[in-house]
Amino acid sequence: MRSGIEEIFLKRRRFLALVPATIGAGALSSVLSGCGTNTGHPIDGTVTVQNGQALVAFSQFPQLESVGGYVVVATSSGGTYIVIRTSATEAMTLAAVCTHAHCLVGYQASTREIVCPCHGSVYSTSGAVVQGPAIAPLATFAARLDATGVTITVT
């Protein structure tokens, strides 16, 4: 049989052994949830790809009627793209998936930068990395603006 003092030391030792494991599990959970649950910008809608092209129509995405407007679209072929209205006569399309942690990016018209809300990566409108942690650029795709919307070439 153990004395009262031995029992206290054993309880204290067990407690001290459990504290780091509990804190470590909490920290790990926090880190994993920070990377895994935030997917970034929401997808605004889906468009159909035919012959390697998809129309991102103003009727479905009125944000693109104004310069500085943008949408993140999924395509029937499985890609996800950010489409940005850059002027009265032009638009651009880039891959919408951050090359760092695969979150969906958004656009800041005031700075003309593409930003990842998950970890702060910033890209120029050419797709180049302006600020990490991302190190690889976003792929760019052809975009043609007309009276009905923006036609993007995804192949």
CATH number at residue 79: 2.102.10.10
Q: 74 and 16 in one domain?
A: no
Q: 106 and 138 in one domain?
A: yes
Query: Nearest CA to 54 among 76, 35, 38, 33?
Result: 76
Strand pairing class (143-146; 113-115): unpaired
Report how many domains make up the chain. 2
Q: 23 and 52 in one domain?
A: no
Q: 51 and 29 in one domain?
A: no
How far is C-alpha 150 from the chain's CA centre?
22
Q: 29 and 8 in one domain?
A: yes
Q: What are the backbone angles phi and psi of residue 2, rounded to the nearest 5°?
A: -90, 150
Q: 84 and 59 in one domain?
A: yes
Q: 87 and 129 in one domain?
A: yes
Q: Name the helix (H) or strand (E) containing 56.
A: strand 53-57
* pLDDT at residue number 25: 40
Task: Give Rg (Cα) of the chain.
Answer: 24
Which domain range does residue 8 map to?
A: 1-37
Query: Could you read off the pLDDT tens digit of each residue along the chain, which spans 155 residues?
Result: 555 555 554 454 554 444 444 444 443 333 333 444 457 889 999 999 999 999 999 999 999 999 999 999 999 999 999 999 999 999 999 999 999 988 999 999 999 999 999 999 999 999 999 998 999 999 999 999 999 999 999 97
Q: 106 and 55 in one domain?
A: yes
* pLDDT at residue number 40: 81
Q: 59 and 18 in one domain?
A: no
Q: 58 and 3 in one domain?
A: no
Q: 23 and 53 in one domain?
A: no
